[in-house]
């Protein structure tokens, strides 16, 4: 089977794959209430995917909103240039879980069916990019790392 970037077959389209943020690189800044931090995560084998689920581990339990953008231009006040695709509310404060009442908070969302498309050209290695924004939608705001560390896994399947 050929699993090269840009080459999609039925077997690969049915597989669930995961792309992850890195707690030491992505979303490391403090984020105030209703503010957003953008990150572009390369590594998608195709520019068209279906997002199936999102898992988050966070040191601070808050209502986070994960925004999906179709290009690295992200949000724009010009409605014709804005690259908004969708968003997912991750209510760690209400639905998150901790093990033995300590450590990080966990939240898992599944059964999503979000059609995502990256409009930017592939990287030099032939991969496409997931363009994300993380917003704090309730609470006093996310602290900068290390106190505000978080890590997000996005489960997806390539689309034909």
Taken in order of first residue, the domains within the chain and their CATH numbers are: 10-158 (2.60.120)
Alpha-carbon distance of 37 to 56, in angstroms, equals: 16
pLDDT tens string 39-55: 999 999 999 999 999 99
pTM exceeds 0.85, yes or no: yes
Q: What is the pLDDT of residue 11?
A: 60
Average of per-residue pLDDT across 31-46: 97
In this model, does residue 82 exceed pLDDT 90?
no
Q: What is the pLDDT of residue 13?
A: 55
Alpha-carbon distance of 155 to 68, in angstroms, equals: 14
**CA end-to-end distance (rounded Å), the chain:** 16
State the greatest distance between any 2 C-alpha atoms of the chain, in Å, as a whole number.
49
């Amino acid at each position: 089977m050929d699993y090269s970037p840009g080459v999609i077959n039925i077997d690969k389209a049915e597989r669930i794959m995961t792309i992850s943020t890195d707690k030491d690189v992505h979303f490391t800044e403090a984020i105030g209430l209703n503010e957003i931090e953008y990150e572009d995560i390369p590594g998608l084998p195709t520019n068209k995917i279906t997002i199936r689920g999102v898992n988050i581990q966070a040191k601070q339990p808050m209502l986070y909103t994960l925004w999906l953008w179709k290009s690295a231009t992200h949000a724009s006040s010009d409605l014709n240039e804005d690259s908004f695709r969708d968003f997912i509310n991750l209510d760690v404060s209400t639905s998150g879980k901790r093990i033995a009442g300590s450590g990080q908070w966990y939240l898992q969302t599944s059964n999503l069916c979000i059609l995502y498309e990256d409009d930017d050209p592939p990287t030099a290695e032939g991969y496409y990019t997931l363009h994300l924004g993380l917003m704090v939608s309730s609470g006093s705001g996310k602290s900068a790392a290390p106190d505000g560390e978080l890590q997000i896994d996005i489960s997806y399947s390539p689309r034909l």
